[in-house]
Amino acid sequence: MAIRERLSGNEAVATAMKQINPDTVAAYPITPSTEVPQYFSNFVANGEVDTEFIAVESEHSAMSACIGASAAGGRVMSATSSQGLAYMFEMLYIAAGMRLPITLICGNRALSAPLNIHNDHSDSMGVRDAGFIQLYCENNQEAYDNTIMAVKIAEKASIPVMVCYDGFITSHSVENIMLLETEDVQKFVGKRNPVQYLLDDERNISMGPMDLQKYYFEHRKQLADAMRGAKNIIKEVSDEFYKLTGRKYDLYEEYMMDDAEIGIVVLNSTAGTTKDAVDKLRASGVKAGMVKPRAFRPLPYEELPESLKNLKALAILDKCDSVNGYAAPLFMELTSAMYSKKVIVPTLNYIYGLGGVDVKVEDILSVYNKLEEVAKTGVVDSTTHYLGMED
Amino acid sequence: MIEIRWHGRGGQGAKTASLLLADAAFNTGKYIQGFPEYGPERMGAPITAYNRISDTPIRVHSNIYEPDYVVVVDDTLLQAVEVTKGLKEEGAILINSSKKPEQLRQYLNGYKGKIYTIDATKISMDCLKANFPNTAMLSAIVKITGIMSKDELLSDMKESFKHKFARKPEVIEPNMVAVERAYDEVAGGNE
């Protein structure tokens, strides 16, 4: 029986973690994900989980402890944001390179400087090449669901998974949510069965030693192949989750795309706001649509261009900037994928909402207005725009 | 969909009140959002919190700029913040104040809609011997918005207090008195 509840995003994720009951959680608090380890340590103190909670002195140590515990054979989770994720940078590559199925919760927040605690995607986008699967969440329900699915995806793919949701907007907003019974979550995630692990006293192994040139390249290639293969694993796990909950997840979600002439690609909570904008436009006869990637790693580079190919104009929205003198990550990767698939659509990049600048339905409508103009003329005057910061 | 904006000062419980309202509406089967706007939080500094209440799932994730209702937990904010900004004329504003509604219109930048007042601070001081106006404010805004009936509100709040004050059962009854008084003592509503 599903349980009707109302929880903040952080409460929802902490609840998922309680129901998963991992072997180890190691975390260091940082706004806006602080509440996740805070709630979880309450569950530990109250004996509601069997987890070993390791209160560490930094995020670098948090991920280091996760790596140790995961290599030992445990099911391991952590949570962080912003500077904390940046501080983990070195250990993220090690977790992925060692193929450890750690689940890392990321309450997305801007990076300093200037100091800012509010939401954008600079943190998770900054570690996009670390070798983690990245799942992005529109709301509390998706944060909860993806946390549960992440554990299974990580262990099937032998790749760590990052679950990303918007700081404050999702993490601190209370919304309706449907929870699973703990028993069903337990059945869904099952037990971790590592092929090899450090605490296996039948078979002594060493993990994480140095690789000479050829072995290093081979291992990196294996990781890359595993990331490619993770697309199918995400789909399989999502299908299984659908059978359990009736909630459908894929690599990405399409909204009103079937006959769409202008479209927006956008991650996380702004996707919800964009759906409202699409409905408004549809009501006045404008054929607008939206695509919300759920998996950014692995990038659905074959599927997404297929979904976008019939558009007359497209805007890809990034809640971060690459500061490369050109454009931002989601735009660059998607247009590259489109080019490879010979999908040519006039495409704009909108960088929006940095440092938590609020994004209203009207802001999204202004992007669609621009797209209508581009669709008519076919002309892209300039590629990269900063939403609300122009004129 | 009903959209509500709360104005309070850090430490007065406006955020908590918005979450309690979300809870109450949730318990009547609605879809809800309750979220504060986080700034540099300090005791006494102006803060804002928001509610959306709807019969259908809520997808928009922005702040609220054109609320149906505004709740002001501290009437000293009337001079400090433009509390009626974007407030719909067919909506209403509820102010915690000992003054009469029409005495406050002069501070509302020409706002023509309904004004309600409730002396939540006095109710709190009478019932709880301390200034926790949010329970009374919650009760008053429930009445004005008609989100639920008085009986539903009373039984919902009783359950919520039982849970919240499990270790201090002696404060449940005074809080219930505050809820009922606030519901009955809301004044105003003339345009």
| Contact of A291 with A304, CB cutoff 8 Å | yes
Give A117 to chain B, closest Cα distance, Å: 9
Beta bridge partners, A176, equal A6
Which residue from B19, B26, B61 is facing A273, i.e. has the nearest CB?
Answer: B61
A118 and chain B in contact, CB less than 8 A = yes
Which DSSP letter does residue A355 get?
A: G
B11, pLDDT greater than 90: no
Give A168 to chain B, closest Cα distance, Å: 8
Q: Helix, strand or coil for residue A141?
A: helix
Residue B62: list chain A partners with CB under 8 A. Answer: 273, 358-361
**How far is residue A133 from each of residues A162, A258, A302, measured CA to CA in Å?**
6, 28, 17
Contact B34 A174 (CB under 8 A): yes
State the pTM of this model.
0.97
| Mutation site, A175, A266, A292, interface B, largest B CB count within 10 A | A175
SS3 content of chain B, % helix, strand, coil (to 5): 40, 20, 40
Give B43 to chain A, closest Cα distance, Å: 19
Contact B59 A117 (CB under 8 A): no
In the Cβ-directed half-sphere of A120, how many Cα atoms lie within 13 Å?
Answer: 23
pLDDT digits over A284-332, tens only? 999 999 999 999 999 999 999 999 999 999 999 999 999 999 999 999 9
Which DSSP letter does residue A384 get?
A: E
The whole-number pLDDT of residue A372 equals 98
Complex ipTM: 0.94
pLDDT digits over B138-155, tens only? 999 999 999 999 999 999
**CATH 3.40.50.920 domain range(s) in chain A:** 254-386
**CATH 3.40.50.970 domain range(s) in chain A:** 3-245
Residue B22: list chain A partners with CB under 8 A. Answer: 6, 174
Instruction: Summarize the confidence of residues B39-53 as an average pLDDT.
Output: 87
Token pair for residue A125?
Answer: 């986008």
A173 and chain B in contact, CB less than 8 A = yes
- Number of residues that make up chain A: 391
Q: Helix, strand or coil for residue B188?
A: strand
Confidence of residue A391 (pLDDT cuts 50, 70, 90): low
Select the CATH number that applies to the domain covering A254-386 from these four: 3.10.450.630, 3.50.50.60, 3.40.50.920, 3.10.20.30: 3.40.50.920
Rounded-to-integer distance, Cα B92 and Cα B71, Å: 9
A11 and chain B in contact, CB less than 8 A = no
Contact B62 A360 (CB under 8 A): yes
Domain over A3-245 is classified CATH 2.130.10.10: no
Sheet strands side by side (includes B46-54): A3-8, A174-179, B31-37, B46-54, B2-9, B69-72, B92-96, B114-118, B187-188
Question: What residues have CB less than 8 Å from A328, skipping those under 6 apart?
Answer: A125, A318, A320, A321, A322, A349, A351, A384
Confidence of residue B41 (pLDDT cuts 50, 70, 90): low
Contact A166 B33 (CB under 8 A): no
| Contact of B75 with B96, CB cutoff 8 Å | yes
Residue B58: list chain A partners with CB under 8 A. Answer: 175
B39, pLDDT greater than 80: no
**How far is residue A265 from each of residues A85, A123, A326, measured CA to CA in Å?**
25, 19, 18
Residue in A with minimal Cα distance to B38: A168
Residue in B with minimal Cα distance to A270: B61
Give A309 to chain B, closest Cα distance, Å: 26
Other C-beta atoms closer than 10 Å to the C-beta of B185 total: 17
pLDDT digits over A328-383, tens only? 999 999 999 999 999 999 999 999 999 999 999 999 999 999 999 999 999 999 99
The whole-number pLDDT of residue B38 equals 80
Contact B26 A276 (CB under 8 A): no
**Contacts A–B by Cβ distance under 8 A:** 56
| Mutation site, B26, B51, B59, B66, interface A, largest A CB count within 10 A | B59
Give A264 to chain B, closest Cα distance, Å: 16
Residue B5: list chain A partners with CB under 8 A. Answer: none
A111 and chain B in contact, CB less than 8 A = no
Contact B35 A173 (CB under 8 A): yes
- Which CATH class name applies to B2-188? alpha beta
Which residue from A173, A273, A275 is facing B33, i.e. has the nearest CB?
Answer: A173
